[in-house]
Amino acid sequence: MPPATSTARLEARISTELHAMLKRAAEMQDRTLTDFVVSAVQETAQRAIEEGEVVRLSLADSERFAKALLSPPDPSPALERAFARRRRLLSAE
């Protein structure tokens, strides 16, 4: 027997016109109103999350980023000390 899926309830107040439109669209796709709304909301939420996680750079920013990857600056003294400490800690094991 597969494990039970946890669910949560979502309620929203909408106009009667929007309700009728959603119901009509669901019927046209031979789906329940709940299935239609959940599917549409899920697709929109996924798209919003993906768009929010994508980093968009201008052409100049992209070129600076590529240049930094291809020609990184010399390590700072603090970074050099951190690497030396790391080497000492790893060799002590």
Proportion of the chain in helix, strand, coil states, percent, rounded to 5: 65, 0, 35
Q: Please state the pTM of the whole predicted model.
A: 0.57
The three-state secondary structure class of 11 is coil
Q: What tens digit of pLDDT does each residue of 23-76 get?
A: 999 999 999 999 999 999 999 999 999 999 988 889 999 999 999 999 999 999
Distance CA(65)–CA(31), nearest Å, equals 48
Distance CA(42)–CA(50), nearest Å, equals 12
Q: Are residues 69 and 49 in the same domain?
A: no
Q: Are residues 38 and 24 in the same domain?
A: yes
Q: Quick check: is 1 in a domain?
A: no
Q: What tens digit of pLDDT does each residue of 4-34 get?
A: 789 999 999 999 999 999 999 999 999 999 9
Q: Quick check: is 9 in a domain?
A: no
